[in-house]
Structure 1
Amino acid sequence: MTKKLSITSIQKAKGDRPLTMITAYDALFAKLFDPIADIILVGDSLNMSFGGKKDTLSATLDQMIYHTQAVCNGAQNSFVIADMPFGTYPTAEKALENATRLFQECPADAVKIEGGQNKAETIRHLVDNGIAVCGHIGLLPQSVRGEGGYKVKGKNEEEAKALITDALAVEQAGAFCMVIEGVKAEVAMHVARAVKVPVIGIGAGNSVDGQVLVFSDMLGLFEAFTPKFVKKYLNGAELVKEAVQNYKDEVESRRFPDEIHTY
């Protein structure tokens, strides 16, 4: 990429080319992804892949600000979206207070909020006050405890209609794009066709307007389990462990540091 995407260029990508989104939580990986990814998401997934927690719910606004600052330090070209963590947007006014703080303390381009029709008023209030919003519908990780687990959506006609209603409400509230997660592929396709803004999928098939993956899943660094929707583009965990083992072997055998690496 030679030019940073704007909200307008992201919206214009719909029907033209699929958008590539990837998570990052620090400047190091953000800098690696920056020349390639259209959008970097500072996801509250950091609570799991970075913090070792079982879900995203205990991520705090302070954590999200810290990691978003780090990502923005490394990303000069990618459009950066920061997740609003659980509990920071129970009302429209509280959402504006917390999103304003995030915008003041780090140069994120937008925030992401989970929820459909029930969060339309909140999204509209943020947009009306200068906060760009990416929506998130379908499977909502912040609702996992309330729903009793991670459950695929769009399994019947009622759920399919509800998802389209959610997408339309999020669009009409002013969101410039939205993530759709854990939704049957055919239903996700109909959702994407129902709205004029890009719909970026994760576990939602190939007929939407882009894809997002958690970087540690995509690079094969997370070993506990692999969700069905994840493709590993690198066997990262094995490569890292092999490198560290080689380092250990050379330290113990005094092959490192050698003459080349000694002052």
Structure 2
Amino acid sequence: MTLPDFRRRKAGNQRISFVTCYDCAFARLVAQTDLDCILVGDSVAMVVHGHPSTLAADLPMMLFHTESVARGAGGKFIVGDMPFLEHRKGQSEAVSAAQALLRAGAQAIKLEGAAGNLEIIQSLVEGGVPVMGHVGLTPQFIHAFGGFKVQGREDAAAERILADAKALEASGVFSIVLEGIPATLGKRITDALSIPTIGIGAGPDCDGQVLVLHDLLGFTEKPPKFARAFGEVASASVTALRAYDEAVKTNTFPTEKESYA
């Protein structure tokens, strides 16, 4: 994937597959597939580091994981998340953070929300930084929302999200993540934009989908409603760990074959 491919995919009604990934080992697995893109999400704070929200993901954390993914991604298109409030410290700080993410190996950055971000996004795009938008359930707004709640169920809220998506398109974003909104609203926004929408809990009519790798591999104990486990890697891992434990305690590992002469 390259940046121009996003519009071409939408024009040709070809779906775009994203997966959220946080390290080199998993990125190497993604590199062996036909998945289009990797999102290095600030959800790493929750999924990998055990925090209750994404707010704990700061710029050093995002750079560390972006660099790790880039080493194993095998040329996949990588989008790096802008951490909470990093771009609201000022224009200079926003540019510096975007520059650091691209130098770490991302080809684009993602910003949550529209209000207050449009001028920053336009400036970054004019400076050569591809920017992806994000509307609906934006996890960095967890305190404002009162938790991880579906957005856009009321008419006024739906119209506001649609207006935000249009404003983001006008500011120059190349694609928009739609998260945690009714499927009907996901379709309305997708039909209204000339840039692709990438859904996560936004219904089947988006131009693409993104899932957290740990959700789709079955690692998440209580996955969100919109996620599907396409494999049970977690249970297979537990089986392997138990077999290893038994082999150590029964002294059947290591064998002569697994030992040096």
Kindly report structure 1 stretches of 4+ aligned residues shifted beyond 4 Å. Answer: none
After superposition, residues 82-101 of structure 1 pair within 5 angstroms as 82-90=80-88, 91-101=90-100
Q: What TM-score results when the alignment is normalised by the length of structure 1?
A: 0.94
The structure 2 residue matched to 1:212, chosen from 207, 210, 213, is: 210
* RMSD over aligned Cα atoms: 1.2
Distance 2:223 2:105 in 1: 32
Deviation of the 1:158 alpha carbon: 1.1
What SS is found at the alignment partner of 1:241? helix
The structure 1 residue matched to 2:230, chosen from 223, 230, 233, is: 233
The structure 2 residue matched to 1:13, chosen from 9, 16, 23, is: 9
After superposition, residues 28-39 of structure 1 pair within 5 angstroms as 28-34=25-31, 35-39=33-37
Instruction: Name stretches of at least 5 consecutive residues in structure 2 with no aligned partner.
Output: none
Q: Please give the per-residue CA displacement for 1:121-172, whole angstroms capped at 9, x wherever unaligned.
A: 1111110111110111110100002221112112122122111111111111
Distance 1:37 1:67 in 2: 19
Identity %: 37
- Counterpart check, 1:243 vs 2:240: yes
Deviation of the 1:92 alpha carbon: 3.7
After superposition, residues 138-149 of structure 1 pair within 5 angstroms as 138-149=136-147
Asked if the contact 1:167/1:191 (under 8 Å) is kept, the reply is yes
Q: Which residue of 1 aligns with 2:132?
A: 134
Q: Which residue of 2 aligns with 1:51?
A: 49
What SS is found at the alignment partner of 1:14? helix
Distance 1:101 1:213 in 2: 25
Q: Which residue of 2 aligns with 1:164?
A: 162
The one-letter amino acid of 2:191's match is: R
The structure 2 residue matched to 1:108, chosen from 95, 100, 106, is: 106
Aligned residues: 257
- Counterpart check, 1:260 vs 2:260: no
What SS is found at the alignment partner of 2:55? coil
